Structure 1
Amino acid sequence: MSDSRTVGKLLVNAQQVLEGAGIANAVQEARWLLAYALEMKHHELASRAEQSVTAEQLARVLSLVRRRESREPLQYILGSQEFCGLDFSVTPAVLIPRPETELLIQETLREGGFTGGAVLVDVGTGSGCVAVTLATILGGMRIFALDCSHDAVSVAKGNAERHGVSDKIVWLEGDLLSPLKECSVAGAVDAIISNPPYIAEADWVGLQPEVRDYEPRQALLAGPKGTEFHERLIHDSKQFLVPGGLLVMELGQGQAPLVRRVAEAAGGYTGIQTVKDEAGIERVLIARRACEGPSHG
């Protein structure tokens, strides 16, 4: 690519490099990278195809294309990812928001029926995409966003500020729901929402390089079964949820039957259901805190 001195030639060569690296959407990704590196609008890449680039611009393009060639996620290179129509800053400290996680938002809103003063908890907030999105939609709520990573919470706070909802979210650091124990919200939470780690140890090696080699391991890897965090959330959420309160969790492919059985065996929940994503995968589990009756475990 070092001899490519016009925008058009750079674009063609970038596409070829990415195709050679096995990037599925090489044509579009090359456009995104060049537009970002050259500080152009996408349509300008065509209208300015014959424009020469400076040595500095060439070096910048080469650097970004090489990063993507090594399978670094495009979102980390560009520093952002869209989620529910909002733009979120992302760094290697946080999991890149996925389209399927938008289902968590949709189902929480559909099932919630929240009134003013309701308490919502986002467990494993990462980039803050769930908490921030809910804060932009719902008014008068108390939202807690929890994560065990200080760096992730820093990114999430930045995204809250970016979207003007900093004053609507309380940020807490710690393991799953443990930070809530100091917040006097036992039995007072209307919804606990989580996209927890759910990759089983045996599946780690087979993940895409973008995921396995670049995204935060602690945000992905759950343990031998892949459902360890779901099981903990099912047991630990009972002490915090109000009667009728929601537990809404994202699931990995094929995990729904096991997680449903765990929820049923735990007791204290009713209306357990799963929701399929656009690919037909049971992606979200919803359970309501039982209004009465014994709680086991």
Structure 2
Amino acid sequence: MPQTVWTILALIRWADERFKKEGMATPRLDAEVLLAETLATDRVGLYTHFDQPLQPDELTRFKEFIRRRLRREPVAYILGRKEFWSLPLRVTPEVLIPRPETETLVAEALKILAPAEGKDFHILEIGTGSGAISVALATELPAATVVATDLSPKALAVAEENALRFGVRERIRLLHGDLFRPVEKGDGFDLIVTNPPYIPRGQFASLMPEVRDYEPKAALDGGKDGLDFFRRVLPAVDEYLRPGGWFLAEMGAGQDPQILKIAEKNADLDSFAFARDLGGIYRVFKARKKYQLDADEHG
């Protein structure tokens, strides 16, 4: 019997079929990305050499990638990276994998800050994880300084690696601690930005296994209704903003009425608004700290 020759195209088809049987969302794409990583090429390179057979060591490495993916390990963790805001960021199982939806948060922040691009903005990110948001903002706003906090020292190590990789480490201060504890009241941030845990606890069982079984639960679990973070942060956020400063937070679908209700209890906030992601879902909540004149008039 002739031995099977495993060419690039044959392996893509084989892996695609395996992934389809497991009900994976993007079987062909996953197969191509993992094979491109094996061969140190890109997806275009696969098809320009589609009839090239793999060497035994390449085949061994690719099959190990496939085994990991069949256990539903996310592709980003297998590769050790994920692109966000056109930046190939380092990711590990200690950090949430950056999502395209979170780019809406960066875009909304830049709408507020970019018109005064040369200004030395002072930004706080709560729960930085991989540092995706902080690094993206620091690369877009060259005069800005960022304080990025996280409860996980391992996440902060990943954030530091990403800040170093993209040349913004000296403008990002990484602090360990929960919520506002690492910073001082009266620091007067121009922007506080966060992608908090907002998934209701009861929905965990129905999450995709890639998320449920591999990503850090602390970065996802928003409590019974997904709003624990907002209840803790919104009553105090004004104490850390300068007058006219903004708070922007990612949120889950359908959470806008409850978040608005929590925010309205803080008399020092106004200009409440929501921004939609590319799927048309409200994804970002925005609130501004009143200027003193506004507060006096409404006090």
TM normalised by structure 2 equals 0.92
Between the aligned partners of 1:155 and 1:230, the Cα distance in structure 2 is: 25
1:109 paired to 2:99: no
Alignment-mate amino acid for residue 50 of structure 1? D
CA distance in 2, matches of 1:9, 1:171: 46
Structure 2 SS opposite 1:104: helix
Match of 1:144 among 144, 147, 161: 147
Residue 124 of structure 1: aligned partner: 127
Residue deviations 1:14-56 (CA, integer Å, cap 9, x gap): 1111111111211121111111112233233233333332222
| The 10-residue stretch of structure 1 (11-20 or 109-118) with the greater mean CA deviation from structure 2 | 109-118
Instruction: Tell me if the contact between 1:72 and 1:214 (Cα under 8 Å) persists in the aligned partners.
Output: yes
The residue number in structure 1 matching 2:15 is 14
In structure 1, the partner of 2:96 is 95
**Bigger shift: 109-118 or 133-142?**
109-118
Residue 222 of structure 1, CA deviation: 1.4
Superposition pairs for residues 1-297 of structure 1, below 5 Å?
Answer: 5-112=6-113, 113-114=115-116, 116-181=119-184, 186-292=186-292, 293=295
- CA RMSD after TM alignment: 1.7
Letter in 2 for 1:29: D
Q: Structure 1 CA distance, aligned partners of 2:139 and 2:161?
A: 14
Distance in 2 between residues matched to 1:29 and 1:126, nearest whole Å: 24
Q: Given the superposition, is the C-alpha separation of residues 22 and 4 from structure 1 closer, same or farther in structure 2, using an over 3 Å criterion?
A: farther
Following superposition, the deviation at residue 187 of structure 1 comes to: 4.8
Q: What is the distance in 1 between the residues matched to 2:5 and 2:217?
A: 37
SS at match of 1:97: coil
Aligned length: 290
Would you say the 8 A contact 1:118–1:190 is kept in 2? yes
- Does the 8 Å contact 2:269/2:289 carry over to 1? yes
**Structure 2 residues without counterparts, runs of 5 or longer:** none
Contact 1:118-1:141 at 8 Å conserved across structures: yes
Superposition deviation, residue 116 in structure 1: 2.6
Cα deviation, residue 3, structure 1: 5.1
- Bigger mean CA deviation after superposition, 70-79 or 191-200: 70-79
Q: CA deviation at 1:4?
A: 5.5
CA 1:30–1:265 in structure 2 vs 1: closer, same or farther (change >3 Å)?
Answer: same
Q: Distance in 2 between matches of 1:46 and 1:187?
A: 54
Task: State the alpha-carbon separation in 2 of the partners of residues 11 and 59 from structure 1.
Answer: 15
Aligned-pair CA distance for 1:276: 1.4
Q: Using a 3 Å threshold, how does the CA distance of structure 1 residues 7 and 134 change in structure 2: closer, same or farther?
A: same
In the alignment, structure 1 segments of 5+ residues that lack a partner are none
Note the alpha carbon deviations across 1:168-201, whole angstroms, 9 max, x for none.
11000100111003xxx61511110000000111
Q: Which amino acid aligns with 2:277?
A: D
Residues 53-102 of structure 1 show CA distances to partners (whole Å, capped at 9, x for unaligned) of 22221111111011111211111111111111111111111111111111
Percentage of identical aligned residues: 38
TM-score of the aligned structures, taking structure 1 as reference length: 0.93
* Kept in 2: contact 1:123–1:193 (CA 8 A): yes
Give the Cα separation in 1 of the matches to 2:7 and 2:142.
Answer: 50
Structure 2 letter corresponding to 1:79: G
Give the SS at the match of 1:199: coil
Is contact 1:4-1:10 (8 Å) kept? no
1:230 shift after superposition: 1.6
Deviations 1:229-250 (A, max 9, x none): 0221212211111111100011
SS in structure 1 of the partner of residue 247 of structure 2? strand
What is the CA distance between 1:267 and its match in structure 2? 1.8
Task: Kindly indicate whether the alpha-carbon contact (under 8 Å) linking 1:21 and 1:70 is maintained by their aligned counterparts in 2.
Answer: no
